[in-house]
Structure 1
Amino acid sequence: MSADTLILILAIDRGAGPDVLTQHRTKAAAPFGGKYRIIDFTLANCLHSGLRQVLVLTQYKSHSLQKHLRDGWSIFNPELGEFITSLPPQMRQTQEWYAGPFDALRQNRYLIERNRADQILVLDGGVVYRMDYAELVRAHKEAQAKVTVAVRPVSSAGQGTQASVGLGENDWIQALSPPTPVDDDATGEQLQTMGVYLFDKAFLLHEIDRIERGEREDKDLAVDVVAPLTRTQSVLAYRFGQARGRVTPDRYWCDLATIDAYYRANMELLYAEPPIDLYQPDWNIHTYQGQYPPARTVPGPMSGNEGVFVNSMLAAGTVISGGGVNHSILFPCVRVKDGAIVEESILFDGVEVGEGAHLRNCIVEKEVVIPPNEQIGHDLKLDRERFTVSEQGIVVVTRGIWG
């Protein structure tokens, strides 16, 4: 399976994800779930699907992502033809950056052409889901499709972030249209794309030639490139969350398009039954983890009060010294000092919460030091004068606020 399919993961977003969280990193490198990066989910899907020829196309503020790939994903054996390779713009023919998703493929035509794979699987590295790509490849071959697009049903308003899909008989796609808000009153199944596209290599190379002759726009892979093919070519829809395949079909997919979506997706991991199953024993999500000591709670040095946490995720190296943490996610090496309270919040690596500070409904960037007795998330009018506040009242505390 691995030799038949070449993976190209698109991680070139210019901060198109959750706003201020991508000021210093590409969306694919944004932290998620207490210990992961967003791209870990796509890479784990490749690993468990037996697909081990992976090119990660990078561009925008890619240092954090490249470091993560080096430290956490140097696990494949090049002697067996396996690799995960970061691929910035090579500028072999022009001096231009990637102008869009399909232009990124065009600029790397030579790597696609010389690879022995028969199929090219193009993936979005900035979304969170679990999927057995081996089953998608199987369905693609069985149907003898030129292109196969993974699709998922949507039912809740506000989920219209991906291209809408119109199906004909036997799940052949008849139309792909720009994203539209989901209509809760509409009858019938509403489907959208997922950022998963499988191409026959020869067909993809032919389409790249057409782009080089200026016959396609290149803003959205589904709408600008695949949609015109539905009129003349065989474009198959692969339904997400089927029973076939080794991953449990939780049918969870999230593109973390806004601060509120990012916050909500993290908080959902604290449910008694989370919507995405991170605990399937044979489908673990691999990542890089520093060699930190275990997380712990200790009494406060001044108050003597025990450090406590309730329904929260604490990563390695975190210490709660007489403070309290409730319904929150703490990444590695966070410090919560004596008398500090953290509620309904996400704290990135190395955050320090000073004595007596109180945080509620916050996302705090890595290595931010919250001063003692600071109050954040209690007075949104005051918070808006100092921080970024989302539409739903989530306060994002970035680096440099206090010098």
Structure 2
Amino acid sequence: MPRVISLILGGGRGTRLYPLTKSRSKPAVPIAGKYRLIDIPVSNCIHSGLHRIFVVTQFNSVSLHRHIYNTYKFDPFEGGFVEILAAQQTMQSETWYQGTADAVRRNIPYFTEKDYDLVVILSGDQLYRMNLQDMIKTHQDNKAAVTIAALPVAEAEARSCGIMRIQADGRVIDFEEKPKTQEKLNRVRTEPAWMEKLGLKAEGRPYLASMGIYVFNTKVLVDLLGNSTATDFGHELLPQTIASDRVQAHLFDGYWEDIGTVGAFHQANIDLTRDNPQFDFTEGERPIFTRPRYLPCSHIKGATIRNSLICDGCVIGRGSVIENSVIGVRSIIGENVTIRDSYLMGADWYEQADDHARNQIEGLPNLGVGAGSVIQRAIVDKSARIGKGVRILNEAGVVEPENDAPTHVIRDGVVVIPKQTILREGTVI
């Protein structure tokens, strides 16, 4: 077996996920009530037998570092690890990472200090399951220098992805990053009949999109980065590589979702509540790993709950109605609360009787959601205090306001309540 090192790219500032990334890096954003985005690629690596993992990031990495330290501990005799490579000033560079390729270039010393044959590069903000050994086999069988995971997509999606054109043997012969014109789209279109010969059903998806998952021969990657000033894989490095080396496509047709925007993130969480979700966290043989917590069972006091996920340690008051929603760890929900199509991330701690008495003196709502509140199509970040009778409905149907309010942000029509926000009794959004 080849010696493999995995690099998970944590992304930049995560501005499209703001305010969820206001105080944390993108891979540290909680998903499905009890996980973090970083748990997805790390779990894929572990189930694929890849136990040497670096996470490359540069913004707000404290909570990410804490999560990784408390979650991923390997047998010391095996040599596995998950470590963060945060941007730092060195004698060679004093600037931030300028793009995905630049981030990898600046960390060459870490993945070449041992004799690794292959480098697997993954994204830190995607939801999918993949056996990466299958992709490594595709790479080796075709004696490729680079292998790109490819997913069939329709034309609307193709305009926002890196699209590749391949030969009958799967070799990539053209690559266009986010083709906007019809001429460029036509150039990288794959005939449906050709796709079917390769084992994929096109079904109205005549374009092969890069999933942002790559396998590189280590020497090839080091030479490419050393002989180029390219700062990004999709825009620069991959098109250059196609001309000089064998670049192979690894075809994939399972569930894959890039959740880089608030709208996509909200929908990905709500989709988990469906009867047969496309991505299922309950898959027993390949679970998604995360930080172990020692929380009590959730206590539901006569509430009505439909198509929802209720995580550990929640207390839900009598008469409350929860539909198509994800309720995160330690969520405290008062009586007669209505929550629909929403994701509540929960809290990082419990309040005790003394805390409640202090809150009353200071005029603060308790941690959680107060009695009689209504929340619809919203994301409530961790440890928010929502008073009694608060209504979060966005009845005006605002999609993207010109200015953000101090207590909330609206993105893609979704109301986001930032971490530790206080909404006083009777507030209407």
TM-score normalized by the length of structure 1: 0.88
- 1:314 aligns to 2:310 (yes or no): yes
Say how many residue pairs are matched.
Answer: 379
Contact 1:17–1:256 at 8 Å: present in 2 too? no
Q: Is the deviation greater in 99-108 or in 199-208?
A: 99-108
In structure 1, distance between residues paired with 2:144 and 2:415: 46
Contact 2:125–2:260 at 8 Å: present in 1 too? no
Q: 1:390 aligns with which of 405, 408, 411?
A: 411
Shift of 1:17: 4.2
Residues 287-302 of structure 1 aligned to structure 2 (within 5 Å): 287-298=290-301
Instruction: Give 2:271's aligned amino acid.
Output: E
Residues 59-74 of structure 1 aligned to structure 2 (within 5 Å): 59-74=58-73
User: 3-state SS of the aligned residue for 1:21?
Assistant: coil
Q: 1:332 aligns with which of 320, 329, 332?
A: 329
Shift of 1:63: 1.1
Contact 1:33–1:269 at 8 Å: present in 2 too? yes
User: 3-state SS of the aligned residue for 1:99?
Assistant: coil
Matching residue of 2:393: 377
Shift of 1:256: 1.0
User: 3-state SS of the aligned residue for 1:20?
Assistant: coil
Q: Is the deviation greater in 358-367 or in 164-173?
A: 164-173
Residues 234-273 of structure 1 aligned to structure 2 (within 5 Å): 234-241=246-253, 251-273=254-276
- 1:207 aligns to 2:203 (yes or no): no
Matching residue of 2:78: 80
In structure 1, distance between residues paired with 2:82 and 2:114: 14
Instruction: Give 1:279's aligned amino acid.
Output: T
CA gap of 1:181–1:377, structure 2 versus 1, over 3 A, is: farther
Matching residue of 1:347: 344
Q: Is the deviation greater in 363-372 or in 26-35?
A: 26-35
Residues 47-196 of structure 1 aligned to structure 2 (within 5 Å): 47-74=46-73, 76-92=74-90, 93-155=92-154, 157-158=156-157, 160-180=159-179, 188=192, 189-196=206-213
Shift of 1:389: 1.9
Contact 1:297–1:308 at 8 Å: present in 2 too? no
- 1:197 aligns to 2:214 (yes or no): yes
User: 3-state SS of the aligned residue for 1:195?
Assistant: strand
In structure 2, distance between residues paired with 1:182 and 1:285: 39
Instruction: Give 1:124's aligned amino acid.
Output: S
Contact 2:346–2:368 at 8 Å: present in 1 too? no
In structure 2, distance between residues paired with 1:329 and 1:78: 36
Instruction: Give 1:333's aligned amino acid.
Output: R
Q: Alignment RMSD, CA only?
A: 2.3
Matching residue of 2:360: none
5+ residue gaps in structure 1?
242-250, 299-305
In structure 1, distance between residues paired with 2:158 and 2:416: 23
User: 3-state SS of the aligned residue for 1:112?
Assistant: helix
User: 3-state SS of the aligned residue for 1:80?
Assistant: coil
Identity score, percent: 27
In structure 2, distance between residues paired with 1:319 and 1:134: 42
Shift of 1:204: 1.1
CA gap of 1:286–1:388, structure 2 versus 1, over 3 A, is: same
- 1:46 aligns to 2:45 (yes or no): yes
Instruction: Give 1:320's aligned amino acid.
Output: I
Matching residue of 2:21: 22
- 1:368 aligns to 2:364 (yes or no): no
Shift of 1:16: 4.1
Shift of 1:365: 1.0
Instruction: Give 2:237's aligned amino acid.
Output: V
- 1:37 aligns to 2:36 (yes or no): yes
Matching residue of 1:247: none
Shift of 1:156: 6.5
CA gap of 1:125–1:88, structure 2 versus 1, over 3 A, is: same
Shift of 1:222: 2.1
Instruction: Give 2:290's aligned amino acid.
Output: T
Shift of 1:95: 2.2
Matching residue of 1:4: 3
In structure 2, distance between residues paired with 1:18 and 1:142: 39
In structure 2, distance between residues paired with 1:378 and 1:60: 31
What CA deviation, in whole Å up to 9, does each residue of 1:295-347 have, x standing for no partner? 1212xxxxxxx223221101101110112211110110001101111111100
Shift of 1:155: 2.2
CA gap of 1:43–1:160, structure 2 versus 1, over 3 A, is: farther
CA gap of 1:16–1:224, structure 2 versus 1, over 3 A, is: farther
- 1:229 aligns to 2:246 (yes or no): no
User: 3-state SS of the aligned residue for 2:294?
Assistant: coil
5+ residue gaps in structure 2?
193-205, 348-366, 425-429
Matching residue of 1:274: 277
